[in-house]
Each structure stands twice: as C-alpha cells, then as structure tokens.
Homo-oligomer: A and B are copies of this chain.
Amino acid sequence: MLSPTEENYLKVILALSSKNEQAVHTNAIAAELRIAAATATDMCKKLAVKKLVSHEKYKGVLLTKTGYLKACLIIRKHRLWETFLVEQLKFKWDEVHEIAEQLEHIDSEELVNRLELLLGSPKTDPHGDPIPDKNGYLPPSRSMPLAEAATHDVHVVRGVADQSSKFLQLLNKLNIGIGSRIRIMEKFDFDQSIAIKVDQQKTVHISDQVARNIIVK
C-alpha cells in the first residue's frame, strides 16, 4: 500500500514524463509539489527502493512498469471523481480539482469501479482528459493539429509544431499554453480560419497557419 504522499509523487512523475519522455529531474518534482529539492531527492530514493521508479543520481527518475501502472490507477480515480463531482454534484469544472486531489487517495478498488458504472463508464473527464480503464490502460492519445480537429469538441493543447518565439509570443497573447482547453466554435471555408474559445473565455479568431501549429488531442 502506498501513502498519499507516495501516490502524489508517482502522479507528478507521470505528468512530467509524459511531456518530456525524458527522465524527470528531482527539482522539477520538487517545484511541482512545492517542496524543497532535498525532500524530493529523498523520496525518489525511497520510491526506487520500492521499484516504483529507477533513479540515477543527478540524472532524475523514470517510472518502472509497476510505478506507471500505479500512477495510471491514481489518474483513473482522480478523473472519475472529477466526473462525479461535475455530473452528479453539479460542481463547475474549475472547482473540482482540489477535492479530487483528496478523493483520489481513497483506497477501495470496488468503490472506484462502482463509481465508473454509476457514471456510465465515461471515456474522458470534464476537462477532456481520458480516463484509464480498471487495468490502468490509458488509451494512446492520438494528437493532431488543431486545424484538423472536430468542430464543437473540446481539445487539449499538448504541444506546438512551430517552436519559434514569434509563434509562442502569439500563443501567449491568445492565452494558449500546454494544457489549455480549446473548443472549436466555427470553421470558415473561405480561408480555413477558425473561431475558438480558450479555457471558456471569450471567443477569438485564429488563422489556419496558427491552427496547424497547435497540437491537440
């Protein structure tokens, strides 16, 4: 059995490694969890002893197969609880994170499986993120340029095809970053430009060139 603290480390390591594919630096973990770097190093060593991560001194950590599975099951609980909070308890999607952070550590497989049933086995949570199944399987995220994504759906920004500062500065202006939720409101055939809503703010209009360089899933 893992402590809530250990579970939080695994979750953060998974989140950070899915962006980079690289080993996750202990400092990045510390920053994310808002704890001292020394504390993160310490815990990483403990997680390595438990074979949940592999730890190479001064290089960082990588989840082992077991660690990855555990992390996915925590994500599963988190996302199912978020769905419950929004769909059944009528919370807004921006109010549920802190509560789900607590609920995700409740230890009962039966509970989470029944919760999934109650909710009708949803595939994604209220933020559009996919919910792993009871085996921890997280469907591969088929990412694509925003330009090719479906109208009306919400898409999560996962990266950018163009890394030039000119493009990134434009994204900053539009308040678009990794993790932003973009809903496509309308597509205009004339120039392939599209109207989008970023994180439920007011609708803005972007060119096809911009849309082709934003990677979403």
**Which residues in B have their C-beta under 8 angstroms from that of A91?**
110, 114
Q: Mark A76-119, 1 if CB is under 8 A from B, else 0.
A: 00000000010011110001001100110011101100110010
Cβ–Cβ contact B108 & A89, under 8 A: no
Cβ–Cβ contact B108 & A106, under 8 A: no
Question: Of B85, B98, B106, B118, which one neighbours A102 at CB under 8 angstroms?
Answer: B106
**Which residues in B have their C-beta under 8 angstroms from that of A99?**
106, 108, 111
A89 to B88, CA, bound (A): 13
**Which residues in B have their C-beta under 8 angstroms from that of A98?**
108
**Which residues in B have their C-beta under 8 angstroms from that of A95?**
110
A88 to B108, CA, bound (A): 16
- Grouping DSSP codes into helix (H, G, I), strand (E, B) and loop, the A interface class, with mixed when no group exceeds half, is helix
A106 to B102, CA, bound (A): 6
Tier of interface size on chain A: 10 to 19
Cβ–Cβ contact B118 & A89, under 8 A: yes
CB distance from A67 to the nearest CB of B (A): 23
CB distance from A130 to the nearest CB of B (A): 23
Q: Which residue of B lies closest to A90 (CB)?
A: B114
A91 to B106, CA, bound (A): 16
Question: Of B103, B107, B110, B115, which one neighbours A106 at CB under 8 angstroms?
Answer: B103
Q: Which residue of B lies closest to A98 (CB)?
A: B108
A176 to B98, CA, bound (A): 44
CB distance from A86 to the nearest CB of B (A): 11
A98 to B108, CA, bound (A): 9
**Which residues in B have their C-beta under 8 angstroms from that of A85?**
111
A110 to B92, CA, bound (A): 12
| A residues neighboring B (CB under 8 Å) | 85, 88-91, 95, 98-99, 102-103, 106-108, 110-111, 114-115, 118
